[in-house]
Amino acid sequence: MLVLQSLAKTGSRVVKVDTVAEFDRQDALNRLDDYRVRVAQADASIKGLKAQLEVIRKSHEHSIAASNGELDKARIDLKSIPVRSANATEILKINAEEADAAHKQLLNEVRLMEQSLAAQLKLAELIRAEAVIEMRRVELNVDRMLFRAPLNGLIVMQSIFRGGEQSQIQQGDQVFPGQPFMRIVDPDSMLVSATVNQVDADQIRIGARAFVRFDAYPDLELPGRVHAIGAMPKASGSRATYVAEIPVTLKLDRTDPRVIPDLSASVDVVLEAEDSAPAIPLEAVFRDNSGPFVYVRGSSGWERRRIELGLANHVAAVVKAGLRPGEVIAAADPAEAKKR
């Protein structure tokens, strides 16, 4: 678990790249300092090895030059053999062989020495590369513990259980890895999270028009559209388990300054629509073998009249023909009402 060391206030507005939260980074910063020291030590070691290699190379160059001088002198002395005694001649030959052997040994030592120092230098470079990789990884971890706003918006804090009660997350709380603790909402692009009964879910389509009403503001109605439809039912909560609900997300086409995150709302989704058509309640529609009809109040009482219905929902139906605006219809059978 990580401890929230600092936190932006819920409800505050932030702009992109503002720091909105910071976890306790002290341990990670200490590790980062350690790896920076390791990288600095590796740099110093590489620099020392390179200097040592250069010094030894210069020293061996001087030794090789001296060896070349000794070898050249021995070869020149060999040219005086015709005027030397047998004993002196043998000594000159031995000196020449020793000078040649010493020169060859010195050349071989230089090669082996350079290979040894090159191996040490390579090892030091590998150690430095490993330290740099670890340092970069710790730097990323340190940066990940500092949260910056990805967009301009409004801070919405999530809730946790504290002392047996649910309350908003605050500075000093411990957060599990992967646990959401904050949302940043763009007030100019609001989404509505809703659910629809499984029976009606197959009638809803993405892009369908909708009207959103808010419990806190009964006079406020905002237009929107269906943005996404869930593929699976959501887990049932307080309702009976046999009432399965499909999650639906809607996007508001227009916002209002009064609308803030986490308000409760209700949504009407438009499946079909007819313009300029009168609608009557379903209880006023009667049917027989010939089709639907209504009772219209006339000068001599209630008259039975055939109508043509259009779109209908659970409470009302559109009348496409048979009624004129302003006419009064009966919500119950007048004959039955009269008998009572």
* CB contact at 8 A, 94 and 74: no
pLDDT of the residue at 42: 87
List, in order, residues 6 or more apart from 338 with CB less than 8 Å away: none
pLDDT of the residue at 96: 67
Token pair, residue 306, equals 């055939």
Identify which of 280, 292, 283, 289 has the alpha carbon closest to the alpha carbon of residue 319: 280
Residues of the chain with pLDDT under 70: 61-65, 67-93, 95-96, 99, 103, 106-111, 235-242, 337-340
pLDDT of the residue at 118: 78
pLDDT of the residue at 62: 67
* CB contact at 8 A, 155 and 182: yes
CA distance 100 to 255: 96
pTM above 0.75, yes or no: no
Which domains can be identified in the chain, with CATH numbers? 1-24+145-186 (2.40.50), 25-144 (1.10.287.620), 188-269 (2.40.30.170), 279-339 (2.40.420.20)
* CB contact at 8 A, 312 and 278: no
pLDDT of the residue at 198: 87
List, in order, residues 6 or more apart from 167 with CB less than 8 Å away: 159, 160, 161
List, in order, residues 6 or more apart from 260 with CB less than 8 Å away: 11, 154, 187
pLDDT of the residue at 71: 64
pLDDT of the residue at 224: 95
pLDDT of the residue at 264: 93
Instruction: Convert the pLDDT of each residue in 37-48 to its tens digit.
Output: 988 988 888 888
> Exposed/middle/buried for 212, CB within 10 Å: 0-12, 13-18, 19+?
buried
* CB contact at 8 A, 55 and 33: no
H-type alpha helices, the chain: 26-78, 86-144, 198-201, 334-339
Token pair, residue 304, equals 């039975």
CA distance 336 to 75: 144
pLDDT of the residue at 228: 95
pLDDT of the residue at 93: 67
pLDDT of the residue at 210: 95
